[in-house]
Amino acid sequence: MSSLTRHLVAAIVAATLLFPPHVSPSPARLALVSEIRHWTSREYTRVVIDLEGEARYEANFLGADPVRNLPPRIFIDIQGADLRDEIVRHPREVHNGLLTRVRAGRFRAGVVRVVIDLERESGYRVFDLSDPSRIIVDIDGGSPGTGQGSPIPEPSGKIVVMLDPGHGGKDPGATGPTGLKEKDVVLTIGRMVREKLSRFPDFEVGMTRDTDVFIPLEERTAIANKAGADIFVSLHINASRDRKARGISTYVLSRASDREALELAARENGVTVQKLSEVKFIIDDLSTYGRKKESLKLAKTVNDAIVRNISSRHGPVHDLGLKQAPFYVLVGARMTAVLVETSFISNRSEESRLRSQEYLETIADSVVEAIRYYGENGALARAGM
């Protein structure tokens, strides 16, 4: 190789290192629409679009087109996505007097369109949750209908209470210093409350879970809505990096009242504080349905009862009071809804209390007392009651 050739090769190598050739980025992996689920009540339907992977979406509404014999419909275009063929072949039939079906297909390359065919024009809201990714559509204004949808319960004339023991199954919730799991404690409390409250004929009591199973947050609210619940109580045990943190607090859905409330909601939601801080849809969700005021009343009643009864039966307890935070499990609740954080499982002393049957009985007694007081003293804002 000549000297000139060697210098030329060296120059080419140097130029390549300084200015590497452009390489087109490989196409991003398409998110997969893996399932479409729905829950129906007299007043609303919740549709959940499950995704494997992150994707952007846009929701729109089209009015009825009599010429083409098309009903009013909501459609969601999911960018950078594909879907299972099974979903294309089998639309989800609903027929509840509000919507008829949910169908989906490949609108164009890399875009999945999900169409919700309505029986009449109705209000709706669309938001997304992460870990795992899903798009949630709440359609408002349903009325009783006939057809192939799930049966819609007739009003019983009783106050319907839905208890929601948090976490479960693969999600243990918080774990105490000696291994006590939040999911087990709240399930025990929930069963106690159900047994005690069911003794009173004016109340009908259900639970989102009665065993150690995992239920997604959006499904818990949907179960309560479908049951036509008047009161929704989500049961949790608090935790903190500060092992000295202790006390009782009760929450309603709204902006976080402080940094600790935001961090707690992020942990319960299974997302980062930054992700939760970016969420806009959640703010004043309950106010939309005129339930925030009633939820604040119930939350204060529950918190006061727990603090009072624990203090009298078990000794001093720290009252953290009534708070507000953006808990996903309360989003879309069409009833008076609260979330209770009873003690800190991360505190060794309070974890020890939570292992006591008598202590859990006191918490359950307090929740029952509060629900009865709230429900029987005219605070329940419900048509016909």
- Domain segments of the chain as ranges: 31-140, 159-376
Exposure of 261 by Cβ count < 10 A (0-12 exposed, 13-18 middle, 19+ buried)? buried
Q: Encoding tokens for residue 283?
A: 């703010």
The CA dihedral of 192, 196, 197, 202, to the nearest 10 degrees, is 160
Exposure of 112 by Cβ count < 10 A (0-12 exposed, 13-18 middle, 19+ buried)? buried
**How many helices (H) and strands (E) in the chain?**
10, 16
Q: Encoding tokens for residue 113?
A: 């369109």
DSSP letter, residue 330: G
For residues 22 and 188, give the distance between their C-alpha atoms in angstroms, rounded to a whole number.
61
Q: What is the pLDDT of residue 40?
A: 84
Q: Encoding tokens for residue 130?
A: 């992460």
**Which fold, 159-376?**
Aminopeptidase (3.40.630)
- Local confidence pLDDT in tens for the 385 residues of the chain: 555 445 444 443 343 333 333 333 334 689 999 999 999 876 789 999 999 998 999 999 999 999 999 999 999 999 999 999 999 999 999 888 888 999 999 999 999 999 999 998 888 888 888 878 999 999 986 444 333 344 445 556 899 999 999 999 999 999 999 999 999 999 999 999 999 999 999 999 999 999 999 999 999 999 998 898 999 999 999 999 999 999 999 999 887 878 888 889 888 888 888 877 766 555 545 444 557 889 999 999 999 999 999 999 999 999 999 998 888 899 888 899 999 999 999 999 999 999 999 999 999 999 999 999 998 875 554 444 4
For residue 43, give every residue at least 6 positions away whose Cβ sits within 8 Å of its Cβ, in sequence order, or none: 140, 141, 142, 225, 334
For residue 263, give every residue at least 6 positions away whose Cβ sits within 8 Å of its Cβ, in sequence order, or none: 273
CB atoms within 10 A of CB 182: 27
Beta strands across the sheet bearing 31-40: 81-83, 31-40, 44-52, 134-140, 124-129
- Identity of residue 163: L
Q: What is the pLDDT of residue 142?
A: 45
Q: What is the DSSP string of 174-243?
A: -B-TT--BHHHHHHHHHHHHHHHHTTSTTEEEEES-SSS----HHHHHHHHHHTT-SEEEEEEEE--SST
**Which fold, 31-140?**
Immunoglobulin-like (2.60.40)
For residues 132 and 214, give the distance between their C-alpha atoms in angstroms, rounded to a whole number.
13
pTM over cut 0.85: no
Q: What is the pLDDT of residue 8?
A: 44
Q: What is the pLDDT of residue 280?
A: 58
Q: What is the pLDDT of residue 76?
A: 96
Q: Are 135 and 79 in contact (CB under 8 A)?
A: no
Q: What is the pLDDT of residue 287?
A: 46
Q: What is the pLDDT of residue 184?
A: 98
